Structure 1
């Protein structure tokens, strides 16, 4: 088997709360391979989103190591992490994080411009076409539905054709039809470009489409739940 594109070794995350230190992640070791679709599931507060943030270098581990595409994310400073994400990794959040004063096209093109792509607007237009929003490219976020805004966020994350795409509850704020559209777009990206997908989700139908599901509980991989899933 090829080397993993993501490799976490005994990752721990402790944050300071009002009552003292709070252990969020308690020793996670996990490898994710190229082209894999991985679903992170578990109850609220189990550490799913925190684990995804560590994978993207958006949160720093208290202990352990996080390797992504051969880079030790725990050793990179914030500027280097931002450059790495800009070219190699896409991130989609449950809240869309679109810039309200920019059109859909500008929202998608801006990260490409920052990455130095001279054809940023052409690539942004292609990405919006890929999520079915060619007719909305000149609209602002407030002029679009929640499903349309999520598709713009997905176009923005995927326009650079990242090797890894991390998505935190990508269908969480959407109705059934829009959620299905986003799921199809995510897995279509994997099929077309071999992108590795890591998805945090509470949606059983989204988890069911993943090639592997990792259940979390209390900041650890839930080995008992994993064994039950393997046996079912």
Structure 2
């Protein structure tokens, strides 16, 4: 039997808007298997990023059940959720979310230090070398190109060796050529470390690289297909 690492059952998400509660996700039921690469697609406003955030416990479902690695995320307090993500999940955002006052090396080492790794900087250096940034590790984000910043963000997400990697439009702020390079790197690292990858994208060519593609519309699953 396949090993399910992410499981969602009848998940709904409603967020406060100017006119009251706005439905974002409507009864999502979805299982993701270990080692699978899953692309989430759909038009803007379909709920792709919100679904990814709920999977990572970064947004709490209004109702339904969300489990990751057999743990009920809805039952966890915020501190427990943060610890769970730190040890089991890596998240890559479209806007990089690097700390501007820290060098690339310090940005990658930070989650390792928080997790208590004694070799945080040695591991961070190795991760930056793996993404081709050995020569830029002592530079700050403002001194790096968009592609280089996304490489740092990838290195930071993968440094703790997460079982689950969540990526929200990781090439959205990059030109086409750099975007392809980042996706080659993302899938290569995923394959190397064996993580389960969930990727939000508007690009059909990027979604086509995934083992499975789930299409969303109006907060509901419209299609679910294997490659």
1:109 offset after TM fit, Å? 0.2
Higher strand share: 2
* Residue 187 (structure 1) aligned with residue 187 (structure 2): yes
Partner in structure 2 of residue 71 of structure 1: 71
Q: What's the TM-score once normalised by structure 1's chain length?
A: 0.95
1:128 offset after TM fit, Å? 0.5
Deviates further, 38-47 or 190-199:
190-199
Deviates further, 54-63 or 15-24:
15-24
What is the root-mean-square deviation in Å for CA atoms of aligned residues?
Answer: 1.2
Q: How does 1:90-101 map to 2 (within 5 A)?
A: 90-101=90-101
Partner in structure 2 of residue 122 of structure 1: 122
1:70 offset after TM fit, Å? 1.0
What is the CA–CA distance in structure 2 between the aligned matches of 1:116 and 1:131, rounded to whole Å?
A: 23
What is the CA–CA distance in structure 1 between the aligned matches of 2:159 and 2:3, rounded to whole Å?
A: 25
1:193 offset after TM fit, Å? 1.4
Partner in structure 1 of residue 206 of structure 2: 206
Q: What's the TM-score once normalised by structure 2's chain length?
A: 0.97
What is the CA–CA distance in structure 2 between the aligned matches of 1:176 and 1:42, rounded to whole Å?
A: 20
Q: How does 1:48-197 map to 2 (within 5 A)?
A: 48-197=48-197
What is the CA–CA distance in structure 2 between the aligned matches of 1:66 and 1:154, rounded to whole Å?
A: 25
| Runs of 5+ unmatched residues, structure 2 | none
Partner in structure 2 of residue 13 of structure 1: 13
Which string of whole-angstrom CA distances, capped at 9 and with x for unpartnered residues, describes residues 179-224 of structure 1?
Answer: 111111111122111110000001112101001000000000014x
What is the CA–CA distance in structure 1 between the aligned matches of 2:163 and 2:85, rounded to whole Å?
A: 10
Partner in structure 1 of residue 32 of structure 2: 32
What is the CA–CA distance in structure 1 between the aligned matches of 2:203 and 2:132, rounded to whole Å?
A: 23
1:117 partner SS? coil
What is the CA–CA distance in structure 2 between the aligned matches of 1:70 and 1:156, rounded to whole Å?
A: 25
1:135 offset after TM fit, Å? 0.3
Which string of whole-angstrom CA distances, capped at 9 and with x for unpartnered residues, describes residues 9-66 of structure 1?
Answer: 0000011111111100000000000000000000000000000000000000000010
Partner in structure 2 of residue 222 of structure 1: 222
